[in-house]
Chains A and B, each alone.
Chain A
Amino acid sequence: MTTPVVQWGALAPDLILLGGAAVLLLVAVLFRDRTARDIAMLVGVGCFVGSAVAVTVIWDHGDGVRAVLDGQFVVDRFANAVRVIVAGSGLLTLMGAYGWARLREHGPEFVAFLLVAAAGMDLMAASNSFVSLFVSLETFSIALYALCAFDTKSSASLESGLKYLILGSIGSVVLVYGAAFLYGATGSFRFDEIAVGVAAEPESLLALAGLALVLGGLGFKIAVVPFHMWTPDVYEGAPTPVTAFMSAATKAAAFAVLVRVLVTAVPAMGDTWKPALAVAAIVTMLFANVVALRQTNVKRMLAYSSVGHAGYLLMALVSGQAGAKALLFYLAVYAATSVGAFTVVAIAERETGRAATIDSLRGWGFSRPVLGGALAIFLLSLAGFPPTAGFLAKLYLFAAAIDAGYTYLALVGVAATVISLGYYLRVGLALYDRRHESGSMLPSAPGTAWAGTCAALAAIVVLWLGIYPPDVLDWAGQAAASLIAAP
């Protein structure tokens, strides 16, 4: 029995986040109120930036593929790309959340939970066995349950936390059950060893049941129809900064690990899971976008929109390496768009003191030019209009699907996009409704300056990726290649 070697360098981006969380728990004891919040913000921003910098340092190590902690994790460029997306979402979330009243009482705790959640997501994207996958999944899930219920004075927030906990746990149990079956079929929890066992016996009923359960369990996390029912309730009830982070970062991490499972553990069963995922993609795209048409609450609408985007992303899973590249690009674009959109919604909520609906946003774009303009850009990007990045992201996704022989999926995707115009444009038009242009400005909510900076940054990212994408595409291509090349 040998002691496993710890590769500190490869784990540094995650350890920085966890270290920051530990420090913040001390800050919560030593400082009070606004001082504590400002220290927490500094530490949080420092950790997210540090994590992203650490990723750029280790990006080129050993062709990007490294088995870490006795093969429990693989820190390749794919995992690193997801780490950057998670860190970026965390950074934007922190800036957007700055003025939230609740942070004046419990700032350090909020940032600490956020850092732990981010570390869990990073580790999940790098996991190479069902044991590490489960532990990192629960690490970020439990942090998110607490974050959803963070506003303990609001019954909607508590309710959303409890609902997420109950439904999320069912997902986790299903995942463990699936892992147990795959273990029974192949004798291992490691993805590379499962691949060997599955390739030897691809028709095994045990492995098939295991795969179905694993897909179901992860389906809860990525919110694919029919496992999406928690999403609208949780997104609506959770404090809006939490929703922003959850929608962007959870999606990135969960899709990343799903790709890794499918590509490295069960490629031999592709004939089974590809049609199943194609059906799930069609159902998810159509159902979510049609239901979103009926929503008047903007957060709820964005929640269904997020389910719809999960449907588009499922398309990438069946499209091979080009699909993985398109997936990473899409996730990066979606993260910036989603965090930005929810941040603007949070400010609108704070100003009016009630939930943001299409009616409450009427004419709001005139009194808040930066925030309103940014929200308009995000909505156009979600709907897939050029020159925003959402257009290119969808284009690459559909092109990858067509190249892989799934033309019908791309067609359904286009149809779903057309349906989605209905609700994105409705909000956009309400935002600039001349009839409700009010001369009097509402007093701006605290933290608007920071949230405005966050929204402007996110909008710049969305436009930059939409107009000049080669750098990020190249980066996504390298990351996708390292995943496929993994042993």
Chain B
Amino acid sequence: MTPGLGSYLIVSGILFAIGLVGVLLRRSPLVVLLSLEVMLNSANLALVGFGRYVGGQDGQVFALVVMGVAAAEVVVGLGLIVAMERRRLVLDTDQLVELRG
């Protein structure tokens, strides 16, 4: 039996929730970036699932585009983390309170 659209969406929703919880609760900026990737990939899974359901190639193409953009975003994110490391800032998002949130 092949899984239907519903199954893809459920898995995608679970991944999205895991990613969101990670972004909100984890302290290391590296893990936060990782969680963001999980969220983006959950959106990709939804895109591909809907692509199969609708029956065109647009969904898959958009998913590829999202992957490319996500890579660029992570590059900037990692660059920032390296710059903070150089300045010997503590890599703990809870202690990034110079700007009161």
Judging by beta carbons under 8 Å apart, are A156 and B98 in contact? Answer: yes
Chain B hits for A131, CB < 8 A? 58, 61-62, 65
A305 at the interface (CB under 8 A from B): no
List the B residue with the shortest CB-CB distance to A156: B98
* B interface, size bucket: 35 or more
Q: In the complex, how many residue pairs between chain A and chain B have their CB atoms under 8 Å apart?
A: 128
Cβ-neighbour of B98 out of A130, A134, A159, A189 (below 8 A): A159
CB within 8 Å of B: which A112-170 residues: 130-131, 134-135, 138, 142, 145-146, 149, 152-153, 155-156, 158-163, 165-166, 169-170
Chain A hits for B55, CB < 8 A? 187
User: Chain B at the A interface: mostly helix, strand, loop or mixed?
Assistant: helix
Cβ-neighbour of B76 out of A145, A179, A232, A236 (below 8 A): A145
A183 at the interface (CB under 8 A from B): yes
Q: How far is the CA of A189 from the CA of B46 in the complex (A)?
A: 14
Judging by beta carbons under 8 Å apart, are B54 and A165 in contact? Answer: no
Q: How far is the CA of A237 from the CA of B98 in the complex (A)?
A: 9
Judging by beta carbons under 8 Å apart, are A176 and B53 in contact? Answer: no
CB within 8 Å of A: which B66-83 residues: 66, 69, 72-73, 76-77, 79-81, 83
Chain A hits for B59, CB < 8 A? 180, 183
A interface size (C-beta, 8 A): 40
Judging by beta carbons under 8 Å apart, are B40 and A155 in contact? Answer: no
A184 at the interface (CB under 8 A from B): yes
Q: Which 3 A-B pairs have the closest CB atoms?
A: A184-B50, A233-B99, A176-B43
Give me the interface of A with B, judged by CB distance under 8 Å. 130-131, 134-135, 138, 142, 145-146, 149, 152-153, 155-156, 158-163, 165-166, 169-170, 172-173, 176-177, 179-181, 183-184, 187-189, 229, 232-233, 236-237
Q: List 27 A-B contacts (CB under 8 A).
A: A131-B58, A134-B66, A135-B65, A138-B73, A145-B73, A145-B80, A152-B87, A155-B98, A158-B84, A159-B98, A162-B29, A163-B101, A165-B73, A166-B23, A166-B32, A169-B39, A170-B20, A173-B42, A176-B43, A177-B46, A180-B50, A183-B51, A184-B54, A187-B55, A187-B56, A233-B100, A237-B98
